[in-house]
Amino acid sequence: MMRPGKIPPDLLVKYVFSHLGKMDESVILGPHLGEDASLIEIGDYVIAAATDPITGSISDVGWLAVHVNANDIATFGIPPSWFLSSILLPETIDETSIEQIMNQMDSAAKSLGVSIAGGHTEVTTGIDRPIVAGFMLGITKRGCYVTSSGANPGDEILLTKYAGLEGTSILATEGERYLRQAIDSSILKEAQKLKQQISVVEDGVQAYRTGHVTAMHDPTEGGVANGLHEMCDAGNLGCRINGNSIPVHESTFEICRFLDIDVLQLISSGSMLIACDAGKSKKVVDTLFSFGINTVKIGEFLEDSQTRVINQHEQEKSLPRPNTDALWNALRLVNQENP
């Protein structure tokens, strides 16, 4: 039986990347391990295209669908422009819930200056919650972008905001009743508010404009740990990470401790992994700080792709590679109290 979340990299390579239809030279970046989206060259311009479903959240599915797909475009340093969605609804859905989803999508799109250009909406059998599969497009001039594979040995690794940001917000919202037995309500409210920081569009666009960024990646499924592995896979690199430097919000710490899950393996939309030229991290950090985005250096990339380690509590160990996101087991646990 398959585990929830992304299918393993070897299966992606074997069954997905080997069946891509007609080869088209205008697709200058197609499906690759560690890449967040695709690039299509049209004349002097390049279109960035990304798609992602929202399957773990119920309460904020419309809001997240827009932002998570916009984030994928922002990893190139490109602002998102057009959004489409396929909305699948369970037979138990009511009109109020449909309106809520669309209000969330409308609000999120307006906050980013994005147009909702089309989509499809239907009620279907076989699901117990709304599922929104989003599709986002952005456009830039040829050559004006970075990719997840662009990092070099010696490049410094930065992380914006907090690890586990999206997962914290989802767990505090969907599992509030269960978590209240051990976590103060004020902390849960702070955790729920983290969804307001879910966008990394500003992070990506402003970091790119410094001229010192070589690669960016949005650490979604599998969290920061998996995001680092995906960047290493994309660039055929290793990494050395200072785990003590990775920022963790107080509410994330409390929720992960209570549920006994690893914050580094918790879905982390809302944070951005950034590779920058050696010795230039301060310029990038200061620039992002001027836009209200807290950013810290957490490590560096290495030439040896087999060396991927994390130093934490004065011990060096292999950087864990999640088989599945910590969110899924945590949701199963909290939903025992939320049937």
Structure confidence by residue, pLDDT tens digits, 155-177? 999 999 999 999 999 999 999 99
71/35: higher pLDDT: 71
CATH number of the domain within which 270 lies: 3.90.650.10
Q: Are residues 235 and 267 in the same domain?
A: yes
Residues 22, 282: Cα–Cα separation, whole Å = 44
Q: Are residues 242 and 118 in the same domain?
A: no
Per the CB < 8 A criterion, the answer to whether 78 and 213 are in contact is: no
Mean pLDDT along residues 238-264: 96
Q: Are residues 250 and 137 in the same domain?
A: no
Over the stretch 253-308, which tens digit does the pLDDT of each residue have? 999 999 999 999 999 999 999 999 999 999 999 999 999 999 999 999 999 999 99
Per-residue model confidence (pLDDT) at position 338? 53
Q: For residue 28, what are the contacts with CB-CB under 8 A and spacing of at least 6?
A: 39, 40, 41, 46
Flag whether pLDDT at 339 surpasses 60.
Answer: no
Domain limits at 297? 156-337
Q: Domains in the chain: how many in total?
A: 2
Over the stretch 85-129, which tens digit does the pLDDT of each residue have? 999 999 999 999 999 999 999 999 999 999 999 999 999 999 999
Per-residue model confidence (pLDDT) at position 193? 94
Answer whether residue 1 is part of any domain: no
Cα distances (angstroms) measured from residue 154 to each of 278, 279, 299: 6, 9, 10
Return the closest-CA partner of residue 227 out of 133, 331, 320, 134: 320
Structure tokens at 283: 């310029």
Per-residue model confidence (pLDDT) at position 330? 92
Answer whether residue 284 is part of any domain: yes
pLDDT band at 9 (very low <50, low <70, confident <90, very high): confident
CATH number of the domain within which 84 lies: 3.30.1330.10
Angle value at C-alpha 129, between 123 and 132, nearest 5 degrees: 70
Give the type of residue at 147. T
Cα distances (angstroms) measured from residue 78 to each of 85, 154, 188, 199, 203: 20, 25, 33, 13, 11
Q: Are residues 169 and 238 in the same domain?
A: yes
Q: What is the CB neighbour count within 10 angstroms for residue 76?
A: 27
**DSSP reduced 3-state for 158:** strand
Answer whether residue 301 is part of any domain: yes
Q: Are residues 136 and 180 in the same domain?
A: no
pTM tops 0.85: yes
Determine what percent of the chain is predicted with pLDDT higher than 90.
87
